């Protein structure tokens, strides 16, 4: 039987090969490394996973689509952006994952997001594979007409590669209800089909699900609450720091308040706001969702309890709970040290891979409960899958039913990660638990389906 030491050596060699095959893709390599370094116990216990090149296939996308997206601005000038769709793994079901519109998007970022999505989607238990897509287009500052023209051009190519039984995109950074609407309209125009299940995150009047906008933030708070319960504690009366001010952050703040905790920060690329009384959710929604403004406007209008810190980092604010909800690698080892020094008890990732590997190790060494994004922020894709189910049945569920399903799914994910970590000798290590549990579900399906 292969020992764990021998398995670790084999996995390290495989990672070197993957790095060589994927140059200049640091985010993707980081995501692969984070998974592979936790798999030695399961590979040693179940050597059949190492036999048919399974891990090599798991780390190579089934399909990568790269295309140009020409569009015209309001002045008549033509711009050309790049569009991406990485269909990573469909062993458990159709590819499922969001579209991100942001200047930072490149193939390596989309591959990292798609790779993470494989395990996240597997943890939901809802029969969906992993994929991701997007463009280096920046919707912020563009008119509705410009965003519409871009989305129509983007979908003109993307429609060839998606479908409710093939690949089901959703929103992500820069892609909200407005963008999903334009994308769906163009898909319908080109295909002449009302195929509601081809996109999720739709408007509630035309195939969308209640609680979908709130789901990622709500789910992350539910996961954090489950980690606290595992320690015999709860959220009531806790102070929380939240990064970001988009969809995930807003509904993280909302759910914290509903469960008795108090979020005191939010942020964007210009800096952060700290509000001693707690974030005024209605004011934040007005500024970010209606006016599409910056968080400094929140401090100006909130009054004496709030102050704006330009260029600052929310992690310097003392809190019991930290919920990074903005973007990848936003919380580094220095931030982790500051949070630990201020007595943080729980860190739960609302964004995808927002915590650097060095910071994760510091949290684990300090005994902080750390919820990795592939588990903690799975609520969004879980409700997307519930939206697909509603579309298939041509029905609509009540908000209470969707939230009940979401709560059950997040508690089940927590239990799965916790129990898997214990089973493989890493009690309390949710990173190892999430990676191995997701891997086992995908790997078993891949073995059953043969070498494809």
pLDDT tens digits in sequence order for the chain, 452 residues long: 567 788 888 899 999 999 999 999 999 999 999 999 999 999 999 999 998 999 999 999 999 999 999 999 999 999 999 999 999 999 999 999 999 999 999 999 999 999 999 999 999 999 999 999 999 999 989 999 999 999 999 999 999 999 999 999 999 999 999 999 999 999 999 999 999 999 999 999 999 999 999 999 999 999 999 999 999 999 999 999 999 999 999 999 999 999 999 999 999 999 999 999 999 999 999 999 899 899 999 999 999 999 999 998 999 999 999 999 999 999 999 999 999 999 999 999 999 999 999 999 999 999 999 999 999 999 999 999 999 999 999 999 999 999 999 999 999 999 999 999 999 999 999 999 999 999 999 999 999 999 99
C-alpha dist (Å) from residue 426 to 184, 419, 420, 421, 422: 44, 10, 8, 5, 5
**Residue 8's pLDDT is what?**
87
Beta-carbon-side half-sphere exposure of residue 105 (alpha carbons within 13 Å): 28
Report the C-alpha gap between 359 and 329 in whole angstroms.
10
Residue 3's pLDDT is what? 75
Q: Are 309 and 267 in contact (CB under 8 A)?
A: no
CATH assignment at residue 281: 3.40.50.720
User: Residue 247 is part of which domain span?
Assistant: 215-376
178 and 219 in a single domain? The answer is no
Distance CA(3)–CA(121), nearest Å, equals: 30
Together in a domain, 222 and 371: yes
Residue 85: what pLDDT?
A: 98
What pLDDT is attached to residue 232? 97
- Own/partner pairs for 180-185, CB < 8 Å, 24+ apart? 182/147, 182/148, 182/151, 182/152, 182/155, 183/99, 183/151, 183/154, 183/155, 183/158, 185/152
Same structural domain for residues 219 and 147? no
Residue 172 lies in a domain: yes
Structure tokens at 35: 């998974």
Query: Is 366 a member of any domain?
Result: yes
Residue 230's DSSP bridge partners are none
Nearest to 428 by CA among 231, 251, 187, 221: 231
Distance CA 375, CA 140 (A): 29
Q: Is residue 420 a part of any domain in this protein?
A: no
CATH of the domain at 180: 3.40.50.10860
Show the beta-strand stretches assigned E in 311-354.
321-323, 346-348
Spatial separation of the C-alpha atoms in residues 422 and 125, rounded to whole Å: 20
Displacement of CA 117 from its chain's centroid (Å): 8
Q: Residue 62: how many CB atoms within 10 A of its CB?
A: 17
Domain-terminating residue out of 329, 349, 376: 376
Report if residue 34 sits inside a domain.
no
Going from the C-alpha of 400 to that of each of 93, 221, 405, the distances in angstroms are 27, 17, 9
In a domain, 127, yes or no: yes
- Shared domain check, 224 and 358: yes
Asked whether residue 307 falls in the same domain as residue 180, the answer is no
Domain end: 145, 163, 195, which one? 195
Catalytic residue list: 132
Token pair of 96, please? 């499922």
pLDDT (tens digit per residue) in 102-154: 999 999 999 999 999 999 999 999 999 999 999 999 998 999 999 999 999 99
Q: What is the rounded distance in angstroms from the CA atom of residue 403 to the CA atom of residue 407?
A: 6
| 175 occurs within a structural domain | yes
363 and 230 together in one domain:
yes
- Angle CA(214)–CA(220)–CA(226) in degrees, nearest 5? 130
Residue 417 lies in a domain: no
Q: What is the DSSP letter of 68?
A: E
Contact 169, 128 (CB under 8 A): no
Is residue 246 within 8 Å of 288, Cβ to Cβ?
yes
Provide the pLDDT for residue 391: 97
CA–CA distance, 423 with 216 (Å, rounded to integer): 28
Report how many domains make up the chain: 2
So what's the pLDDT on residue 1? 53
Same domain, 112 and 233: no
Same domain, yes or no, for 178 and 235?
Answer: no
- Note whether 330 and 236 are same-domain residues: yes
Q: Are residues 168 and 283 in the same domain?
A: no
Residue 150 lies in a domain: yes
Tell me: do 222 and 366 sit in the same domain: yes
Residues 270 and 184 reside in one and the same domain: no
Among residues 376, 410, 444, the one where a domain terminates is 376
Q: Are 185 and 114 in contact, with CB atoms under 8 Å apart?
A: no
pLDDT at 4: 75
Q: Kindly report, residue by residue over 59-88, the tens digit of the pLDDT.
A: 999 999 999 999 999 999 999 999 999 999
Q: Which of 384, 363, 379, 385 is nearest to 431 (CA)?
A: 363
User: Please, what is the angle between helix 4-21 and helix 26-36, to 10°?
Assistant: 170
- Whole-angstrom distance, CA of residue 135 vs CA of residue 101: 5
Kindly tell me the sign of the dihedral angle through the C-alpha atoms of 100, 105, 107, 108: negative
């Amino acid at each position: 039987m292969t020992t764990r030491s021998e398995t670790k050596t084999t996995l390290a060699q495989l990672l070197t090969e993957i790095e060589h095959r994927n140059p200049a893709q640091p985010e993707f390599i980081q995501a692969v490394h984070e998974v592979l370094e936790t798999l030695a116990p399961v590979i040693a216990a179940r050597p059949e996973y190492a036999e048919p090149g399974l891990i090599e296939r798991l780390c190579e996308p089934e399909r990568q689509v790269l295309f140009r997206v020409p569009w015209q601005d309001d002045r008549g000038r033509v711009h050309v952006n790049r569009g991406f769709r990485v269909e990573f793994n469909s062993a458990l079901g159709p590819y499922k994952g969001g579209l991100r519109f942001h200047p930072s998007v490149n193939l390596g970022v989309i591959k990292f997001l798609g790779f993470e999505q494989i395990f996240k989607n597997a943890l939901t238990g809802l029969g969906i594979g992993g994929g991701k897509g997007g463009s280096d287009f920046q919707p912020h500052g563009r008119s509705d007409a410009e965003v519409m023209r871009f989305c129509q051009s983007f979908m003109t190519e993307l429609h060839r590669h998606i479908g409710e039984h093939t690949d089901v995109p959703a929103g992500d950074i820069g892609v909200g209800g407005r963008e999903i609407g334009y994308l769906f309209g163009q898909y319908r125009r080109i295909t002449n089909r009302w195929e509601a299940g081809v996109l999720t995150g739709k408007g509630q009047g035309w195939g969308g699900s209640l609680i979908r906008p709130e789901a990622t933030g709500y789910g992350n708070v539910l996961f954090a609450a489950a980690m606290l319960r595992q320690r015999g504690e709860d959220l009531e009366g806790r102070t929380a720091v939240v990064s970001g001010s988009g969809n995930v952050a807003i509904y993280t703040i909302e759910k914290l308040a509903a469960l008795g905790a108090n979020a005191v920060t939010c942020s964007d690329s210009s800096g952060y706001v700290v509000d001693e009384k707690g974030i005024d959710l209605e004011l934040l929604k007005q500024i970010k969702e209606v006016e599409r403004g910056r968080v400094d406007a929140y401090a100006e209008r909130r009054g004496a309890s709030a102050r704006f810190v330009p260029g600052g980092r929310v992690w310097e604010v003392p809190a019991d709970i930290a919920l990074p909800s903005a973007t990848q690698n936003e919380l580094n080892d220095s931030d982790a040290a500051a949070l630990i020094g201020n007595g943080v008890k729980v860190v739960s990732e609302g964004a995808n891979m927002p915590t650097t590997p060095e910071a994760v190790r510091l949290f684990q060494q300090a005994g902080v409960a750390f919820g990795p994004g592939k588990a903690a922020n799975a609520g969004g894709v879980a409700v997307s899958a519930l939206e697909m189910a509603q579309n298939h049945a041509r029905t609509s569920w009540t908000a209470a039913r969707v939230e009940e399903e979401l709560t059950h799914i997040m508690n089940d994910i927590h239990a799965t990660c916790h129990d898997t970590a214990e089973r493989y000798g890493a009690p309390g290590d949710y990173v190892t638990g999430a990676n191995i549990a997701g891997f086992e579900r995908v790997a078993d399906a891949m073995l059953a389906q043969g070498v494809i």
